[in-house]
Every structure is written in C-alpha cells, then in structure tokens.
Chains A and B, each alone.
Chain A
Amino acid sequence: AQKITQTQPGMFVQEKEAVTLDCTYDTSDPSYGLFWYKQPSSGEMIFLIYQGSYDQQNATEGRYSLNFQKARKSANLVISASQLGDSAMYFCAMREQQTGANNLFFGTGTRLTVIP
C-alpha cells in the first residue's frame, strides 16, 4: 500500500488566489511526521512545512499552512496569495518512528502552475 498519496497530478491557480494541494497518508504508527517540499525546475527539494502527529495545532509557515485532519489521515498544504514563483512540483512526505525514523516516504507530487 502507498504510504503517501497525492491524487492531483497538476493544479492551476490564479496569481494572488489561495490553493490547496491534497495529501493522504497511511500508517499504523502513532508517532510520525509529515512534511511538504517544493521542487522548482532547478531540481532542489526545498522544505516548506512540518506537522508532527502529536501536534495539536495546524502548522503554519508564512503563506504556507498545513490542514491536518488526523482521523482522515490527510495533510493538505494550503498556499495563500499565490505568486508566480510558487510554480513548481510539490511533494508530501512522511517519516514513521517505528521504522527508526530513517526513511522519508514521498508521494508522487503535484505540479502547481500559477497563472498571471
């Protein structure tokens, strides 16, 4: 079974609008961490935001927020006030404590295009 599922291969958003990128995960470990990374055309994976499984509040980092719904096992990324520079691939990833917190499992990604 896939540990991370991103069902949106591509998304379009108008500049200055908000957009939500979906991510669902699968784990039986009570202790895990969820990450979102951005990969522009340059290739580097850039860390955006982190949510721990025991965190009570949804994580926020500037224009990025994570809509964490534990019972539904979803961790959607919300980007507010989209900018042209937000056009990139976005990957959701998870790390589980039971595997020794070694591996970061990635989804297949969502390509976001911001339209002027």
Chain B
Amino acid sequence: EAGVAQSPRYKIIEKRQSVAFWCNPISGHATLYWYQQILGQGPKLLIQFQNNGVVDDSQLPKDRFSAERLKGVDSTLKIQPAKLEDSAVYLCASSLDGTGVGEKLFFGSGTQLSVL
C-alpha cells in the first residue's frame, strides 16, 4: 500500500515569494492534515480536511497561507507571500475518517522550506 506522498522534498525561496506544496494521501483516507514543524519543535496543526471540507483551520495564518483539497483527494498548501519565519518542514498526514481518539495518522516525508 502506498504511503502519503509529498512534493517537493526541498524548496528554497526568497522572502515575499510564493510557494506551493502538494500532498497525495493514502487511498481511501477521508481525513487530511497539514502540519508545520519548526526546527526544534514538535509538529503543529495548520489545517484539517474531512473529504473536501475544512474541519479545523484555527491555526492557519490566513493572511498568507491557503489550502485546498479538491475532490477530497489531493491537497495543496500555498504560502503567499512567504516570511522568514515560515522556514520549517511542512508535513502532510492522512487518517481513515478523522474520528476517535485512537485513530492513527500516517505522515509523508515532508517538504523542507527555507525562506532567505
């Protein structure tokens, strides 16, 4: 079974530029998550989708970050314009249906973003 796919693996941009990350979850997983992991910290949830609807985007800086999940499968996370403090690893995860405290999340390898 294929895991969560993310691309690109690495991205270097200058501040004020825009960038987009792509994620393809495990087939059949209804719930998709984007996490931001700043160096030395644990991952922090940015946004959670249930199929193609947003469940939680309370931690998403909506003035510069946007995300969509068309057709309830792939997802794209965009930053425009990027700031220095956006340098981080962006992790995508998926789970079966997003309910229940015991549901496991499966993560991709992440996109490492450096903003210069």
Contacts and interface: CB of A to CB of B under 8 A. Distances in A.
A47 interface: yes
A95 B56 CA distance: 14
A109 to B, nearest CB: 6
A43 interface: yes
A45 B56 contact: no
B56 A33 contact: no
Interface of B, helix, strand, loop or mixed by DSSP = loop
A22 to B, nearest CB: 15
A112 interface: no
Quick one: which of A32, A52, A103 has the most chain B CB within 10 A? A103
Interface size class of A (residues with CB under 8 A): 20 to 34
Contacts of A109: 41-42
A33 B102 CA distance: 6
Nearest to B45: A103
A7 to B, nearest CB: 13
A102 B101 contact: no
Given A44-B110, A47-B104, A50-B102, A103 B43 contact: no
A4 interface: yes
Nearest to A53: B101
Nearest to B41: A108
Interface in A24-52: 31-33, 35, 37, 42-47, 50, 52
Quick one: which of B42, B101, B108, B112 has the most chain A CB within 10 A? B101
Interface string B30-43: 00010000001111
A31 B99 CA distance: 13
A68 interface: no
Given A44-B108, A95-B101, A102 B55 contact: yes
A91 B100 contact: no
Interface of B: 3, 33, 40-45, 48, 55-56, 89, 91, 93, 98-110, 112
10 contacts: A33-B101, A43-B110, A45-B43, A95-B101, A95-B102, A101-B98, A101-B101, A102-B45, A106-B42, A108-B42
Interface of A: 4, 31-33, 35, 37, 42-47, 50, 52-53, 91, 93, 95-97, 100-104, 106-109
